[in-house]
Structure 1
Amino acid sequence: MTFTVVTLLIAVALLGVPLFVVLGAGSLYAAHAAGLDPALLVAEMMRLASSPNLMAIPLFTLGGVVLSRGGAPERLLLVFNAGFGWMPGGLAIVSLVLCAFFTAFSGASGVTILALGGLLYPILRGENYSKNFSLGLLTSSGSLGLLFPPSLVILLYGIVAGVSIEQLFTAGLVPGLLLLTMLAAYSAGISRHIGISRRPFTLSVLFKALRTGMWDLLLPFGIVVGLFGGYVTATEAASCTAAYALLIETVIHRRIGSASQLYEIFRETIILVGSLMIILGVALGFTNLLIDAQIPMKILAALEQGVSSQLQFLLLLNVFLLVVGCMMDIFSATIVVVPLILPLAQRFGVDPVHLGIVFLANLEIGYLTPPVGINLFLASQRFKEPMLNLFRAALPFLLIMLIWLMLVTYLPYLSLWWKKI
């Protein structure tokens, strides 16, 4: 009977039934099969509602939507191009940095591809970058900012796993910068190989761009200083982010002013946050039922028969998470998978903060892997190219990211350096 129900739930999920409906049905069935009161699910939702970090999610989301609607991507492109365009592969590096910056605030790689793809692709092609390189760079860049503050998936992981969000933000900095550096070095090498000319550096152009974009640049700087300096909590930083974004777009740049624009911004934010909260509440109740049924312990017992070291566990974990990443979106995967793997990782001595970075790094790469890589689908829609062509174009970037994943996984110091200070 249980196998039949699980198969049915998977089938309806593949048919497009909303995830919270599938998880809710599974939770109710699991509660009934275990003879438990379904009110436990409501109690879990109440526990979620009392989480002190919960308010950071809608506030950071609001800030990201405001910046996106207010023209921040265009202003930042001018700044980064004026500052880095003179370097070998300058425009490609600018694209990487801009996509990472935008993903960190928007919280979703798909938004980055859809919003910036149309802006950056013709510029790259106009600078004589090949079609494959341009498509590969933009497709892979959509998820680069997931490890930088104020990334929503880091907030979500911290809430689900019960790990300090400030520590996760700190831990993600070095791995995130390392990946950017590796991809930037590759882009610079390609630019030299195909003979892309450098743009001359002009101080007056840089100052002009900074006058326009300096207010946008101050935001991430303020978040980093506030969080890592211990001046604000994640929730306070989120409140400041939302208020600051509204200030610069309504008062300074005046790109948002009408009541209809504000209505659309709040409506988009509510839809994004509401859908996430419904899934989060139901999924946490479901995973608690799984824990009550000792599912993680049973998996651990099975693993212990063939896994004898932390190295073997991490290797299997990477394979498993890469598969999960290409089949599920990162928010759903975080909610469903993290409570199951956390006790297993602790059993093998993996630091929960390090586990968070490894988890997100795997799912970041999973966006680019067939058969259901979300970035491939979205890029195919945005650039009107077959998914297979986009996968081939992104393959060099994917290989670099896999090397980076190995470094992040097996060199915990990259994530935990701050503990040594």
Structure 2
Amino acid sequence: MIFAMGVLPMVLLVLGFPIFIVLLSGATLALVVHMNVPLTAIQQNLFGSLNSPGLLAVPYFIFAGELMSRGTVSQRLVDFVGSMVGRVPGSLGVTTVGTATMFGAISGSSAASVASVGKVMQPAMTRDGYPAAFSAGMITSVSAIGIVIPPSIPMIVYGASAEASIPRLYAAGVVPGLILAAALAIYIMIRARAGGFGSGASLSFRRFAQAGLRAAWALGAPVIVLGGIYGGVFSPTEAAAVACAYALVVTRFVYRELGWRDILDAAIGTVFFTAQVLIIIAVAGLFSWILTVNQVPQALVSWIAAQEMTAWQFLLLVNIVLLVVGCFMDPLSAILLLTPLLIPIVEAFGIDKVHFGIVMTLNLAIGLFTPPFGINIFVAQSVLKMRTPDIYRGVLPFFWIFVAVLLLITYLPSITLWGMELFLF
């Protein structure tokens, strides 16, 4: 059993096999060799893992993000945020943070934020004297806020896997996301002042009003979606469908930037990405079922208890493990693989599952821009046309800021709980 569920998956992962092949191979070998159950259990668990109403939100949010990431939405958000920043050190960098935060609230995709925001901001920062590695590292890292600020696809997957409330997860993610954005903006201002670059235009109410009008329809997406969820108007799944319809109307009929062919391309891209997500969810469900049937989570809880580990020590260990895992696995795969193992221990320590979900999401957000396999790095390399070592060097200071905020969120659960109290009334 150890070979089937541990050694074989690790070997296949190192060899570069897709994660669903890794999990399916280990689970199938365990069923055939070690368990006396019919092989129909494979099909039953694969399809049973997808039998969650919350997962219906995934393709809707992906499609809405695909639509809103095309055209001039990112430029409109850049202009709007820039009109509020004014003449401060590192104004373009602060604008990048604000735009990535807003774009994340619209698309829920970190990679889409890197591509869309990077295309607009990198040339502008280059003209304004920003060091190339610094600006590239900034764009690559700050876009990871996109999976912390709701709506977040990893939060939906975690909620389905951990049986946690998705509205509560969304509400809990707002304040940590804003704290993270503020910490990044402060660092950028300090760095820009020390380097003597990046002062923007003076504040102008006329410029702010014009930019606000141009961006109003784009800004309406998170307002409608999150306002509807927190106000009890519709569920997260219904909110995702509303976001889909809203994005279609705005991009096709209001901005008139997308033709029907563009919308079809976005739909095709959504189908492919959704298929990738759902096949991982299905196989991870089978893998988790085998672990549960063989009482692996219970054994892990007993081992933790035998070590006389406290809650804060457990959270520190989890943070270290997740930071390492995030370097090699995408957030969805990591969530699906590790959540069934960790949730029994979380409950044993009396840790709030929603708070733990935010900690887990933030850990894996860091993995999006951490070498060697951070997806944001590869997207930035393609979009910004920069050498990978330069991007690695640029993300390093932002990595430490993310880690500092992670520790703050981990050991002050009141930050996430305050968000739930504030938005869920």
TM-score, normalising length from structure 2?
0.93
Within 5 A, what are the aligned runs for 1:15-414?
15-32=15-32, 33-195=34-196, 196-258=198-260, 260-414=261-415
Is 191-200 or 166-175 further displaced after alignment? 191-200
The separation in 1 between residues aligned to 2:236 and 2:19, in whole angstroms, is: 28
Instruction: State the AA in 2 paired with 1:28.
Output: T
Distance 1:370 1:197, change over 3 A: closer
Aligned-residue offset at 1:385? 3.6
- Report the residue type matching 1:249 in the other structure: T
Are residues 273 and 420 of structure 1, via their aligned partners in 2, closer, same or farther at CA, if it must alter by over 3 Å? closer
Q: Say if 2:91 and 2:199, in contact at 8 Å, map to a contact too.
A: no
Secondary structure of the residue aligned to 1:69 is coil
CA contact (8 A) 2:4 2:27 kept: no
Deviation at 1:289, TM superposition (A): 0.9
Deviations 1:161-213 (A, max 9, x none): 11000000011111111111111111122222233333112222222222221
The whole-number CA distance in structure 1 between the counterparts of 2:373 and 2:316 is: 22
After superposition, the Cα gap between the structure-2 partners of 1:387 and 1:300, relative to the gap in structure 1 and judged at 3 Å, is: farther
1:364 aligned partner, one-letter code? A
CA contact (8 A) 1:85 1:91 kept: no
Distance in 2 between residues matched to 1:299 and 1:387, nearest whole Å: 39
Question: How many Å apart are 1:358 and its aligned residue?
Answer: 0.7
Name the SS of the counterpart of 2:129 in structure 1. Answer: coil
Q: For 2:39 and 2:120, how far apart are their aligned partners in 1?
A: 49
Q: CA 1:206/1:236 → structure 2, altered by over 3 Å: closer, same or farther?
A: same
- Matches of 2:4 and 2:256 in 1, distance apart? 57
* Alignment gaps of 5+ in structure 2: none
Whole-angstrom CA distance in 1 between matches of 2:294 and 2:5? 17
Q: Provide, for residues 125-160 of structure 1, a one-character-per-residue CA deviation record: whole Å limited to 9, x for no partner.
A: 112222232122112112112121211111111111
Cα distance, 1:350 vs structure 2 = 1.1
Contact 1:62 1:269 in 2 (8 A): yes
Task: Report which stretch shifted further, 162-171 or 139-148.
Answer: 139-148
Q: CA RMSD in A?
A: 2.0
Amino acid of the structure 2 residue aligned with 1:155:
I
Identity of aligned residues (%): 34
Give me the whole-angstrom Cα distance separating, in 1, the residues matched to 2:384 and 2:307.
45
Letter in 2 for 1:14: V
Distance 1:247 1:373 in 2: 33
Amino acid at match of 2:94: I
Q: Is the 8 A contact 2:111 2:376 kept in 1?
A: yes
Equivalent residue pairs, number: 420
* Aligned-pair CA distance for 1:46: 3.5
* Change in CA separation of 1:264 and 1:355 when aligned onto 2, cut-off 3 Å: same
Q: CA deviation at 1:2?
A: 4.8
AA aligned to 2:236 is A
Deviation at 1:419, TM superposition (A): 5.9
Deviates more, 1:395-404 or 1:205-214: 205-214
Q: Provide the C-alpha distance between the structure 1 equivalents of 2:313 and 2:13, rounded to a whole number of angstroms.
A: 32
After superposition, the Cα gap between the structure-2 partners of 1:332 and 1:4, relative to the gap in structure 1 and judged at 3 Å, is closer
Question: How far has the Cα of 1:264 moved from its partner?
Answer: 0.7
Distance 1:165 1:157 in 2: 9
Query: Unmatched 5+ residue regions in structure 1?
Result: none
SS in 1 for 2:69: helix
1:288-325 Cα distance to aligned partner (Å, 9 max, x none): 11111111122222222324211111111111111111
Shift of 1:4: 7.0
User: For 1:32-82, what per-residue CA distance to the aligned partner results, in whole angstroms no more than 9, with x for missing partners?
Assistant: 221122322322333344312121111111100011123311221122122
